[in-house]
Amino acid sequence: MATEGPFRNASNATAPAPTEHLSSSVLSTAASRIQSSTTNITEIIAANDVASRANYCYMFCAVLGFASGLFLFYSFIKSYRARRNWTWLDSLLCALSVSEFIILLCSLSSLAHRPDLLRTTNLNCTLLSFLFNAAFFSGQLLLVLMGFFLTFDQDPPSRPLLQKARDAPAVCVALTTVLSLLSAAVLAGLLGARQSLNQTSDCRLDPRLDGGGYKATKLLLGFILPNLLLLALLAAGCVIWGKSSGGFLSRLKAFPVFLAVALVTFICRFFYSSVLMKRVGRPPRPSQEALMSVAEFVLFSGSCGSLVLVLLLHGPCRESLQNAARRLGECCRSVGGRDTNRHIMAPRIEITDTQENYD
């Protein structure tokens, strides 16, 4: 009986060991959770910083793009009303400017809320995405149409159908608009079939979906097919115009606005499409969302650059800009001349003599 005391005390001393092990595991789990939450917060802050900096850089491009777009509309309307050398290129560039300006208007939804996202219903987000995609597809198809005219437009036209197309470019623009609206409607249907339309959520111009059907369809219709058609038209132009004196390259040099806009559009939309497809099948992370915001601003900057290039490289628009700058300079000089030559009244001092009788 006396020997039971030490064993009883020993058992009592070793009893708290499982409790100490449990408390240490709880502490390690809590520490790992705190560390992971700290890492997530740091990643979110870094992602928001990247998106905010991209937003600030895009502000300058947006102001320049809006100013260029408004002046382009003024120039095109003035030229169309005067009927002064209005050609198929003017019609296509005017329609292209409208498409790029619509993309700039859609960019305001991103510009006003970054680094956060626009909060709205899925129905409103689908309508906004429909408008954006219609302008996106329209810009690509108009570039393909320009390549078609540059390739097959000969004087005299080789076929009567080409003559009708050259004489009625508005019909061609209407056809590209219809195709763009149908393509955007297909994407809107893919969005609406996977979402509850009355639910409020974060909205992007290209929303994130679980499947890759939406993004694959947009990549195919909005980037791959138009650029393949454009490359095929350019190759056909090299064959058709190869026997001429100047060749197809000299013909392209006569239309520098087409080459510049096509190159800028391809680079910006290639980067945007690459980032868009990179999101497929991956869980959302702050770094990926920040990269998507940067890709959106690159796409919007490409639209701004296209408007500026049309203004600077298209002959009638460049002449309108030069005339406006010259009139503004003359107005400033005339105002300055009036200020320097203003007649200043000199003070007149009249002294009247009073007659006094001196004795």
- pLDDT of residue 33 exceeding 50: yes
Q: What is the average per-residue pLDDT within 228-235?
A: 93
**pLDDT tens readout for residues 162-177:** 777 777 889 999 999 9
- pLDDT of residue 4 exceeding 60: no
**For all residues of the chain together, what is the average pLDDT?**
81
Position 238 scores a pLDDT of 86
Among 142-156, 179-193, 337-351, the range scoring the smallest mean pLDDT is 337-351
Of these ranges, 9-18, 191-200, 265-274, the one predicted with the greatest mean pLDDT is 265-274
- pLDDT of residue 343 exceeding 60: no
Position 41 scores a pLDDT of 84
Position 286 scores a pLDDT of 82
Torsion, Cα 295 297 300 304, to 10 degrees, reads: -130
Torsion, Cα 193 119 307 266, to 10 degrees, reads: -50
* Helix/strand/coil for 201: strand
Among 99-108, 213-222, 271-280, 343-352, the range scoring the smallest mean pLDDT is 343-352
**pLDDT tens readout for residues 270-327:** 999 999 988 877 777 888 888 999 999 999 999 999 999 999 999 889 999 999 999 9
Position 76 scores a pLDDT of 93
Q: What is the average per-residue pLDDT within 31-39?
A: 54
Is 259 in contact with 140 (CB distance < 8 Å)?
A: no
Provide, rounded to the nearest whole percent, the portion of the chain with pLDDT above 70: 78
- pLDDT of residue 80 exceeding 70: yes
Position 136 scores a pLDDT of 96
The DSSP-derived string for 69-131 is HHHHHHHHHHHHHHT-S--HHHHHHHHHHHHHHHHHHHHHHHHTTTTS-EEEEHHHHHHHHHH
What does residue 282 show for φ and ψ, rounded to 5 degrees?
-115, 145
Q: What letter would DSSP give residue 209?
A: -
Position 3 scores a pLDDT of 44
Among 32-46, 111-125, 146-160, 241-255, the range scoring the smallest mean pLDDT is 32-46
Position 2 scores a pLDDT of 43
Position 58 scores a pLDDT of 93
Could you give the CA distance from residue 332 to residue 359 in angstroms, rounded to a whole number? 67
pTM of the model: 0.81
Of these ranges, 8-12, 84-88, 214-218, 332-336, the one predicted with the greatest mean pLDDT is 214-218
Position 48 scores a pLDDT of 86
- pLDDT of residue 358 exceeding 60: no
Contacts 24+ apart (CB under 8 A), 161-169: 166/88, 169/88, 169/91, 169/92
* Helix/strand/coil for 280: coil
Is 316 in contact with 87 (CB distance < 8 Å)?
A: no
**Structural domains in the chain plus CATH codes:** 69-326 (1.20.1070.10)
Which two tokens mark 330? 């003359």
**pLDDT tens readout for residues 7-25:** 444 444 444 455 555 455 5
* Helix/strand/coil for 202: strand
Could you give the CA distance from residue 273 to residue 275 in angstroms, rounded to a whole number? 6
- pLDDT of residue 83 exceeding 80: no
What does residue 202 show for φ and ψ, rounded to 5 degrees?
-70, 140
Position 349 scores a pLDDT of 55
Q: What is the average per-residue pLDDT within 227-245?
A: 85
Which two tokens mark 357? 């009788």
Position 275 scores a pLDDT of 92
- pLDDT of residue 135 exceeding 90: yes
Is 277 in contact with 219 (CB distance < 8 Å)?
A: yes
